[in-house]
């Protein structure tokens, strides 16, 4: 009697590794309901808000989620990609998907590249679960934050750990902590600036022109508790300044996206922009090295709000300079990190 054909085991091991690119996330659409859902998950993370839930929850549910979603939805609407609906209209999602596609092409079929979001969809735990169900037993995760902060890279690794804790059959796991001094990353930033300056010329500090390197801020209390984030931002600025041979006084390190009444590390980008505008700065170039994909914080906060603040205060020309997204430099940076974390697997 002929034997029955073998039935494939969907949980059988697959020797090919998987690589997950993990970004922050995005609302499903620029509506108050979608933004409220997104903010609830984001602001409920105790790495993001280091306050006991019994104290924080009434503020979150009773004040913030009643007021902020409508205003934030209006801001998201100004950057949503024209003609696109749902998450595909989000610049962060669009560029994350492009990064996954281009990195997959760069690395070849010996590894499966997936994107995941820490908040919203596709969720990090869902993506890792799907990979395990597909038989992947070697999974590497790269948080898309060049500088380590507990409230950014740290919360990605937390979520990975929660997945591991809940798994009976655990994968072999690798992660990247940060890459603030990565040669490919510094080169990507430098190339973006050089390409812009090839067209517009370098800003001249003797003429009162400036370059701002604006990073997302963190609360001062997190810094005081030992978070290395500011140090890693300063390291990036130091290496980039050296790579570009910038004269003293041209580049300034600032911090953006302050939220709530607590003290945050500074100087604040918005304050610096206003001061330079009031002083009659004839030209201001701004690059955001900590954001791997354009998003609300770069497209609305920097290129709209800070631009308006600068020019209204009396400043001259304002240039926001993208560097990441689907640029060659961004993909080269990801490929460098991927080959590091996948060494010995491919």
Give CA–CA dist 213/286, Å, rounded.
6
The reply to whether 196 sits in an annotated binding site is no
Tokens of 250: 């041209």
Phi then psi dihedrals of residue 283, to 5 deg? -155, 135
297 is in an annotated binding site: yes
**C-alpha R_g of the chain:** 22
Tell me how far apart the terminal alpha carbons of the chain are, to the nearest angstrom: 43
- Complete edge-to-edge strand list for the sheet that includes strand 251-256: 251-256, 210-216, 283-287, 317-320
Structure tokens at 184: 């490919």
Residue with tokens 């029955």: 4
Rounded Cα distance between 129 and 343, Å, is 23
Measured CA to CA, the distance from residue 26 to residue 118 in angstroms comes to 9
Q: Which of 155, 124, 158, 154 is nearest to 42 (CA)?
A: 155
Enumerate the known binding-site residues for Fe(2+): 216, 297
Enumerate the known binding-site residues: 216, 297
């Amino acid at each position: 009697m002929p034997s029955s054909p073998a039935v494939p085991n969907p949980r059988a091991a697959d020797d090919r590794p998987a690589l997950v690119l993990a970004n922050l996330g995005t609302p499903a659409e620029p509506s108050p309901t979608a933004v409220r859902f997104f903010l609830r998950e984001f602001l409920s993370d105790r790495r993001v808000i280091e306050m006991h839930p019994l104290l924080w929850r009434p503020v979150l549910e009773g004040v913030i989620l009643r007021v902020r979603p409508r205003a934030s939805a209006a801001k998201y609407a100004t950057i949503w990609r024209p003609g696109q609906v749902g998450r595909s209209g989000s610049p962060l999602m669009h560029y994350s998907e492009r990064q996954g596609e281009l990195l997959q092409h760069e690395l070849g079929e010996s590894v499966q590249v997936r994107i995941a979001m820490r908040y919203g969809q596709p969720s990090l735990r869902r993506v890792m679960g799907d990979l395990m169900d597909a038989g992947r037993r070697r999974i590497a995760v790269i948080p898309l934050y060049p500088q380590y902060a507990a409230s950014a890279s740290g919360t990605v690794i937390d979520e990975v750990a929660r997945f591991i804790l809940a798994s009976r059959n655990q994968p072999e796991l690798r992660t990247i902590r940060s890459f603030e001094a990565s040669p490919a990353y510094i080169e990507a930033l430098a190339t973006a600036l050089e390409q812009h300056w090839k067209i517009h010329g370098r800003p001249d500090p003797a003429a009162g022109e400036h370059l701002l390197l604006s990073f997302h801020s963190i609360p001062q209390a997190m810094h005081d508790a030992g978070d290395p984030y500011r140090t890693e931002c300063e390291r990036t600025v130091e290496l980039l300044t050296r790579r570009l041979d910038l004269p003293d006084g041209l580049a300034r390190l600032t911090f953006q996206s302050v939220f709530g009444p607590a003290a945050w590390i500074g100087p604040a980008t918005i304050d610096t922009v206003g001061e330079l505008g009031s002083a009659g700065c004839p030209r201001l170039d701004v690059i955001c090295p900590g954001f791997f994909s354009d998003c609300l914080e770069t497209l609305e906060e920097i290129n709209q709000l800070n631009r308006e603040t600068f020019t209204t205060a009396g400043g001259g020309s304002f240039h926001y300079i993208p560097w990441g997204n689907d640029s060659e430099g961004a993909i080269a940076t990801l490929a460098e990190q991927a080959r590091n974390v996948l060494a010995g697997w491919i």
